[in-house]
Structure 1
Amino acid sequence: MQQITHSQSGLKWLKMFLVGIVLLIDFYLVGLMYLQGEYLFAMLTLVILTSGIYIFSSKKVYAWRYVYPGMMGMAIFILFPLVATIAIAFTNYSGTNQLAFERALTVLQDQRFFAGDKYDFKLYPQENNQWKLSLENKNTGQFFVSDNIHLSDHNVAVHEQEQAPTGEVAPLRIITQNRTALQQMVVSLPTGNELTMSSLRQFSEQKARFSYEDSLQDLRNNETGKVYRPNYDTGFFQEIDDQGNWLSETLEPGFTVTIGFANFLKIFTDSGIQKPFVQIFIWTVVFSALTVVFTVILGTVLACLVQWEPLQGKGIYRLLLILPYAVPSFISILVFKGLFNQSFGEINLILHHLFGISPQWFNDPLLAKSMILIVNTWLGYPYMMILAMGLLKAIPQDLYEASAMDGASTWQNFSKITFPLLLKPLTPLMIASFAFNFNNFVLIQLLTNGRPDMIGTTTPAGYTDLLVSYTYRIAFEGSGSQDFGLAAAIATIIFLLVGGLAMLNLKATKFKLD
């Protein structure tokens, strides 16, 4: 019994030791991320590892270990990207402002400039895997030669002599192979000046371009004498005059700062963004709504036709009509892109032969939008048709028999019985389809890439862009700097809109959240 007690005590101490080790690693990683300015990642790591240690080491919450992986997966892949996107929307995060202040300062302090003459260098192989380093100043004709050294030496002294050493010279291949070691080498001249490798054939005196004054947070350019101070409104080190007033010149890279609701205000106040945003928002709503209307109508009509009793070969028709749903959408989109080609597409060839016209599908905004609706209707109607086929089976035949006794026509049966009874169960699916097409990035990107482009906008925007593709172009196709903060603000608005649609969908399906 005593041995069992000692064994249990030993396991307990081992468990505590392992938990302590994991916690130390956890705090180390969190501290490292925090110092690098990655606050969100630090918080995520702290929450996941700390909660995981507690759940898997405590018997009080034993049952939670079975749902912990799923909860953490949701936190990592759903909640964290959402929180990160919303957080970025309140910053100036962009192609020029991606780093934390400390990291941007380090990058600037690492910059060097040439502060003296350049020296061509050569390496001469010696015995025992040693080398002689020879430097030649082309301007003065001076030669400086080292004693026998290893390429791994970090500090090398050279002395002046009248001419370069004689013997075999190492080829460029040897220098390239040992470039890393040579770049770490510091060569001291007799005058005390220090040289570092500046190219594959030259050493030169390089000095730090900027020196930092902690008290004022000023960066002084040692080459030009200009002084820069961090501007926390713009996220750049900006030049100042002797009185501390801001001048126009800024340094890159900039740093990330919180700017509040500036990105959201820019969407509605900057005319170069407001105009395309409003137009694209309206088109996104119209596109999503018309796609739902067209696919529901076409799908329902075809479902009624393929289930019409007098129709022969219904199985073949069903198979042919469902085929667009079986083919990957990106393949169908690219096929349609070729069919609508303005010069060689089959659609324009047929229209030209029949009516003598060749529509500019990709250049005219109205035609481009019509083309997108046609293609998306083709891609979406099989889904609605399959749903309608199943729902039609649930409609009591007694209703049709009663209407036949009253002398109702086929259209009256469809408009008074079939469609109303289909509409109610299809409503949640129509809302879901609207939300899906609201963010139908693949269709726009592959078919038109948002073009034709709008003229006179601050950000890249096209007449066929949806909000999601417009956001993508702002983030990754900006001609100036990639404005991730503005893109995140628009993405946040999209999230709120789609989230509202999701709540509407839940309400439509009468799903109660307790």
Structure 2
Amino acid sequence: MQSVQGSQAMTTSGSSLPSSTKAFIKWALLASVAIINGYATVLMYSRGETAFALLTVVLTALALYIFGSKKTYAHRYIYPGIAGMILFIIFPLVYTVGLSLTNYSASNQLSFERAQSVLLERTFQGGDSYPFSLYQTDKGARLVVEMPEARYATKPFDFAALPAQTLALTPVDSISGEKATLRAVIQNRDALSALELKRSDDQIIRMSGLRKFAAIQPLYSLQDDGRTLINNQTGETLKPNDEIGYYQAVNDAGEFVGDTISPGYIVQIGTDNFERVWTDDGIKEPFIGIFIWTIVFSVLSVGFSLIIGLTLASLVQWEELKGKSIYRLLLILPYAVPAFISILIFRGLYNQSFGEINMVLEALFGISPNWFSDPVMARSMVITVNTWLGFPYMMILCMGLLKAIPDDLYEASAIDGANFIQNFTRITLPMMIKPLTPLLIAAFAFNFNNFVMIMLLTEGGPSRIGTSEPAGYTDLLVSYTYRIAFEGSGGQDFGLASAIATLIFILVGALALVNLRLAHKNTQ
């Protein structure tokens, strides 16, 4: 007995590591994570990605705190959930709100330092241009520039090993070798464009065409204050306008005048994007109209899907109906087919000229509705297609809930002489409403942001007239935001799109609270 216990103890001690070794491995792993994430944080911060650098610091610090402390080590199992919530919910929300307070757009997406450096790299032709020729010699290629006073040539060079550098021009009387064709110049245009030629008077000339080099000068010069630029071509003084995020010319009184100079840079503009939604009629009117339509679309889609689904669920569970399994299979098929395939098929069916629906309507009634150009018909089409896609889900839910209702209740009501309507209003509906309410709220939220449906079927059209940003009569708030962000008439206005996304979050959150409050009252 003692020998058996001894062997078990030896086996147990041999299979487990000493506590000191476990501690060493644990802290080595934590140190490695800290070093790697710290290095990634420095890289992101150096590239101007401050938000992502801060996110990495928060997640890393939280991991080190939970896994490194004995008091919080028990929480290690919930760390993935906490990290996921921070990464996929809190951070996108905070980042979106932060963008809504800036002028971030396609023309304003650089930092001030980067925008300034781009302007300082611009050049202009500040002198005469000179014809040139490219020669191929035994020692390599040579450029020959014809100037009024003499002919100048570079030393031989190799295009394959030619970096962006400056080559000196020296006077020559003649040059041996074969003159290259224009095709050879075009083939080596990138290397020639990056090449600078230095004249004897230290003036730099660069390629200005397929046959000419010209004196190139910086377009802007930076002044001692580190912010003001002088246009060397026109003599204008430019200063950064931090209210709009652009360099702009100033007059003698220091007032900004004239056009802005691209590229712009990102600046904080406070609540200007939110104010645009309420002050710009070209944004306010479509926003309010789209918000009302989004609610109507969501309510009607859920309502029609529920009515049809409940009706069909009651029919396929009718005891005297033969072939119930076949009917169930056929009715569930629209839910089994991928939604994007069904939507594209319906888009073809509703085609104005070749769609089968218009062919049938024209043959039977002599009408051919404009499904994609008339706002009312387009909205009717969208609701119809979305109801077709949604009723199988509601039917499946109602089938399960109907099965859960005890048959004794219907038998008792039959004894009392109740009819079908009384059974539905007194038994079926009250028994189904409590478990069905949260599912209806989820369906409403899904349809409120049903981006795929709108973009694949109508792309938001038909378009509204007189709007500042692209908007359509079938646009939902989510598709309207997308179009502002990526199809804006004034460029990709991510700041305005983020402001509208923030308003959507507030509105959806308020509707969710109202729905939850109503659901809570119904369940009491």
**TM-score, normalised by the number of residues in structure 1:** 0.88
Q: Indicate conservation of the 8 Å contact 2:137/2:176, yes or no.
A: no
Aligned residue number for residue 334 of structure 1:
344
1:41, distance to aligned residue in structure 2 (A): 1.9
Aligned residue number for residue 135 of structure 1:
144
Q: Indicate conservation of the 8 Å contact 1:428/1:508, yes or no.
A: no
Which 5+ residue runs of structure 1 have no aligned equivalent?
1-6
Aligned residue number for residue 264 of structure 2:
254
Write the mapping of 1:104-503 to structure 2, written as runs, cut at 5 A.
Answer: 104-127=115-138, 130-137=139-146, 140=148, 142-151=150-159, 152=163, 154-163=165-174, 165-170=175-180, 182-198=192-208, 202-215=212-225, 217-503=227-513
Q: Distance in 2 between matches of 1:471 and 1:329?
A: 22
Deviates most, 468-477 or 172-181: 172-181
Q: Indicate conservation of the 8 Å contact 2:132/2:146, yes or no.
A: no
Give the secondary-structure state (helix, strand or coil) at the position aligned to 2:318: coil
Q: Distance in 2 between matches of 1:434 and 1:392?
A: 22
Give the secondary-structure state (helix, strand or coil) at the position aligned to 1:393: helix
Number of matched residues? Answer: 501
Deviates most, 320-329 or 352-361: 352-361
Q: Relative to structure 1, is the Cα distance of residues 449 and 207 closer, same or farther in structure 2, using a 3 angstrom cutoff? A: same
Give the secondary-structure state (helix, strand or coil) at the position aligned to 1:325: helix
1:239, distance to aligned residue in structure 2 (A): 1.2
The AA in structure 2 aligned to 1:379 is: L
Give the secondary-structure state (helix, strand or coil) at the position aligned to 1:242: coil
Q: Relative to structure 1, is the Cα distance of residues 285 and 169 closer, same or farther in structure 2, using a 3 angstrom cutoff? A: same
Aligned residue number for residue 99 of structure 2:
88
The AA in structure 1 aligned to 2:96 is: T
Q: Distance in 1 between matches of 2:516 and 2:224?
A: 56
The RMSD of aligned alpha carbons is 3.1
Give the secondary-structure state (helix, strand or coil) at the position aligned to 2:229: strand
1:476, distance to aligned residue in structure 2 (A): 1.1
Give the secondary-structure state (helix, strand or coil) at the position aligned to 2:108: coil
1:404, distance to aligned residue in structure 2 (A): 1.6
Aligned-pair identity in percent equals 54
1:124, distance to aligned residue in structure 2 (A): 3.3
**TM-score, normalised by the number of residues in structure 2:** 0.87
Q: 2:83 aligns with which of 72, 91, 102?
A: 72
Q: Distance in 1 between matches of 2:70 and 2:370?
A: 70
Q: Relative to structure 1, is the Cα distance of residues 103 and 326 closer, same or farther in structure 2, using a 3 angstrom cutoff? A: same
Q: 1:38 aligns with which of 25, 49, 54?
A: 49
Q: Distance in 2 between matches of 1:194 and 1:66?
A: 66
Q: Distance in 2 between matches of 1:27 and 1:487?
A: 32
1:216, distance to aligned residue in structure 2 (A): 6.7
Once the two structures are superposed, what CA deviation does each residue of 1:288-309 show, in whole Å capped at 9, x if it has no partner?
1111110111100100000011
The AA in structure 2 aligned to 1:133 is: R
Q: Distance in 2 between matches of 1:108 and 1:18?
A: 46
The AA in structure 1 aligned to 2:384 is: I
Q: Distance in 2 between matches of 1:72 and 1:126?
A: 65
The AA in structure 1 aligned to 2:474 is: T
The AA in structure 1 aligned to 2:502 is: T
Q: Relative to structure 1, is the Cα distance of residues 18 and 211 closer, same or farther in structure 2, using a 3 angstrom cutoff? A: farther
Once the two structures are superposed, what CA deviation does each residue of 1:19-45 show, in whole Å capped at 9, x if it has no partner?
778766655554554454432122123
Give the secondary-structure state (helix, strand or coil) at the position aligned to 2:200: coil
Give the secondary-structure state (helix, strand or coil) at the position aligned to 2:464: coil
1:150, distance to aligned residue in structure 2 (A): 4.6
Which 5+ residue runs of structure 2 have no aligned equivalent?
1-17
Give the secondary-structure state (helix, strand or coil) at the position aligned to 2:177: coil
Q: Relative to structure 1, is the Cα distance of residues 102 and 331 closer, same or farther in structure 2, using a 3 angstrom cutoff? A: same
Q: Indicate conservation of the 8 Å contact 1:175/1:200, yes or no.
A: yes
1:438, distance to aligned residue in structure 2 (A): 0.6
Once the two structures are superposed, what CA deviation does each residue of 1:26-76 show, in whole Å capped at 9, x if it has no partner?
555545544544321221232234444555666665455554444334333
Q: Distance in 2 between matches of 1:45 and 1:202?
A: 52
Q: Indicate conservation of the 8 Å contact 2:468/2:489, yes or no.
A: no
Q: Indicate conservation of the 8 Å contact 1:97/1:254, yes or no.
A: yes
The AA in structure 1 aligned to 2:322 is: Q
